[in-house]
Structure 1
Amino acid sequence: MLTRLLPDRFVLLLILCVALASILPVTGRAADALHDLAMVAIAAVFFLHGGRLSRSTVIAGLTNWRLHIAVLATTFMVFPLLGLAITALLPDSLMSPALRMGVLFLCVLPSTVQSSIAFTAIAGGNVPAAVCSASASNILGMFVTPLLVAVLFGAGGQGVSVDQVEAILLQLLVPFIAGQILEPWIGPWLRRHRKPLGLVDRGSILLVVYLAFAGAVVSGFWQRIGAVDLAVMLAVDCLLLALVLAITMFMSARLGFSREDRITIVFCGSKKTLASGVPMANVIFAGRDTGAILMPLMLFHQIQLMVCAVLARRYARITEAEAVAEAAAGGDARAAGHNAA
């Protein structure tokens, strides 16, 4: 239990990046050079995502369209509506505009891929459908997330411009499509070397987080953000996750999904991606307080990992108990039949 509740190594590295940016923020030409490097690294990440994604796996999961609609509706409709409601109810004295933007940005992001599939597998859910739903969420997110940001922030003059949408498509979608085109040739090799290539994913995120917080620190981030702000963000993230988990559990049961599909909807619908969220924020909010905007997402990332780890183990225990009970009942029935004979 303790190991599941403690931050994983990647979260500890994120914390280290924030601390390093707070103590030694990079500025000037060095910051520009690191920014260019981050742009190349992010493009490489999405190229690798496209190359690793097996088309046969995606096609295998496409038939369960009701499940995919449920997951996508939760990701891109339920989450934003909850985010709007929570931020509207919070007084301005409890949350700064940048943090408020961060919560809304978190709510319009796509689902995770790796952790959604992993938790679904642990809990005994529909893994092929989880692969398809999580992958579709990330692909659609390249279009839907900028559009939702434009809708949610447009009223306050903080939406994204056409140039920013084009930048997102060029930096994220074009490399992804290139990877998909080359998948028949490079896919098997990329999947065999997923673990070492994962260093590119995590390294790019760490670099962008460091740059975002370095810029925020230079502009006085820690003078504007205090312990109360962090406590409020933590409470908002916990409330948001609790509401989404409750909604996905209740609605998937009411709609008549099987147990395996309900598990998939819960774990794919409740996640938000840090891997895609960080580069998207870097493009969408260029020139703004990116460090503060990313803070709710970083906290939510760790909360979702801890809560879903415990929840997945609980589902697994229930599934094991039911299997044992069914096996025992089958054994009793066979014994009764034998005695009757």
Structure 2
Amino acid sequence: MFAFLKRFGLDPFILSLFGAIFLAWLAPSWGAEHENWSPAEVAGWGVGVIFFFYGLRLSGEKLKAGLQNVRLHTVVQLTTFVLFPLLVLAVMALVDTRANHYLWLGIFFMATLPSTVSSSVVMVSMAGGNVPAAIFNASVSSLIGVFVTPLWMSLFLAADEGAHSLGEAIAGLVFQVLVPVGAGMLLHRRWGAFAERHRRWLNLFDQAVIIAIVYTSFCESFEMHMFDTVSWPLLAALTAGMTALFFAVYGIVLAVSRRMRFNREDRIVALFCGSKKSLVHGTVMSKVLVADHTLTGILLLPIMIYHAMQLVVVGIIARRMSAGT
């Protein structure tokens, strides 16, 4: 069934995400907070397991192998954490963001997120790029994001919008991201081979947790009518904007890579790791940064659209590169 969908360019994970949003729209009370139990809290426990297994698969030797190319790493990390936010800030300075304040907040949140891990490495490998450098950059991006994303978001998130303090946000992300990753890395020698053998099932678990978090987030947002101002034309404009942002970043990174005379393998890493944003980190960080969980659905909307678009577009580019066209 999954192979059949992929033949037509339909990713089952993306379809499941939008299916979860549709279900949240139909019956928001199912996934909203309840007196005796919280579906969001149950999904939240799965996040720690995701990052633990990620650390379990993360080899110190692979990280060391990708460490040497400082110029490449600098380009990727500056693209992820500086270029993206500055481009969005430039657009925000030119338009009136008051009418759709939370949607613009979600767009900026997407721009501050770290790069993806697994899909970046897979796409770089498919296109014939420098895989050790991709592993290094994707991993380091995840760690840097724990500190840089809250710093960027502190510019806009106010206490009256249910925001945690900067210290609370960073501490929460350290507990939810860095501690499980560190624990997994400590056990890599003992259990790393097991995690690699069962990578497919662990990836399915990752996706199930993300779908659960997206579902509960949108249930809470629909329950509080947070999407009442998001019309279909606005949704189409958001999709066009996310696509334009991707190609703007891709074009800038391509020009910089050529200017710095990166070889083909390193240029692929810069393009793919630099232009991608992590939905996994988005779902985790939205819960930690914002105490008012009714806002998380609308905060996640831009990264969901960007994530779906980047999988399709980068997949096409990677296949063309692998074919030598």
Q: TM-score, normalised by structure 1?
A: 0.87
**d(CA) in 2 for partners of 1:103 and 1:189?**
38
Query: Contact 1:116–1:130 (CA<8 Å) still a contact in 2?
Result: yes
Query: Contact 2:242–2:302 (CA<8 Å) still a contact in 1?
Result: yes
**d(CA) in 1 for partners of 2:80 and 2:74?**
10
Query: Contact 1:234–1:299 (CA<8 Å) still a contact in 2?
Result: yes
| Matching of residue 134 in structure 1 with residue 138 in structure 2 | yes
Task: Report what 1:8 is aligned to.
Answer: 11
Query: Contact 1:149–1:160 (CA<8 Å) still a contact in 2?
Result: no
Query: Between the two proteins, what is the percent identity of the paired residues?
Result: 38
Aligned pairs for 1:69-218 within 5 A:
69-92=74-97, 96-153=100-157, 160-161=164-165, 162-218=167-223
**d(CA) in 2 for partners of 1:4 and 1:163?**
45
| Matching of residue 24 in structure 1 with residue 21 in structure 2 | no
Q: Write the deviation string for residues 42-66 of structure 1: whole angstroms up to 9, x where unpaired.
A: 1111111111111111111101111
31-40 or 285-294: bigger deviation: 31-40
| Matching of residue 272 in structure 1 with residue 280 in structure 2 | no
**d(CA) in 1 for partners of 2:85 and 2:169?**
21
For residues 3 and 196 of structure 1, do their structure 2 counterparts lie closer, same or farther at Cα, with a shift above 3 Å needed? closer
Query: Contact 2:115–2:277 (CA<8 Å) still a contact in 1?
Result: yes
Q: Given the alignment, which residue of 312, 317, 326 partners 2:323?
A: 317
| Displacement of 1:229 | 1.8
Aligned residues: 317
**d(CA) in 2 for partners of 1:126 and 1:50?**
21
| Matching of residue 233 in structure 1 with residue 253 in structure 2 | no
5+ residue gaps in structure 1?
Answer: 320-341
For residues 31 and 240 of structure 1, do their structure 2 counterparts lie closer, same or farther at Cα, with a shift above 3 Å needed? farther
**d(CA) in 2 for partners of 1:79 and 1:5?**
31
| Matching of residue 290 in structure 1 with residue 296 in structure 2 | yes
**d(CA) in 2 for partners of 1:103 and 1:183?**
36
Return the letter of the residue paired with 1:149.
M
Q: Given the alignment, which residue of 286, 296, 309 partners 1:303?
A: 309
Query: Contact 1:149–1:159 (CA<8 Å) still a contact in 2?
Result: no
Q: Write the deviation string for residues 66-87 of structure 1: whole angstroms up to 9, x where unpaired.
A: 1111100100010110111122
Query: Contact 2:116–2:276 (CA<8 Å) still a contact in 1?
Result: yes
For residues 318 and 156 of structure 1, do their structure 2 counterparts lie closer, same or farther at Cα, with a shift above 3 Å needed? farther
Q: Write the deviation string for residues 291-334 of structure 1: whole angstroms up to 9, x where unpaired.
A: 11100000000111111112112222336xxxxxxxxxxxxxxx
Return the letter of the residue paired with 1:107.
A
98-107 or 138-147: bigger deviation: 138-147
Query: Contact 2:124–2:134 (CA<8 Å) still a contact in 1?
Result: yes
CA RMSD of aligned residues (A): 2.1
**d(CA) in 1 for partners of 2:136 and 2:151?**
22
Query: Contact 2:58–2:188 (CA<8 Å) still a contact in 1?
Result: yes
Query: Contact 1:151–1:159 (CA<8 Å) still a contact in 2?
Result: no
Query: Contact 2:162–2:290 (CA<8 Å) still a contact in 1?
Result: no
Q: TM-score, normalised by structure 2?
A: 0.91
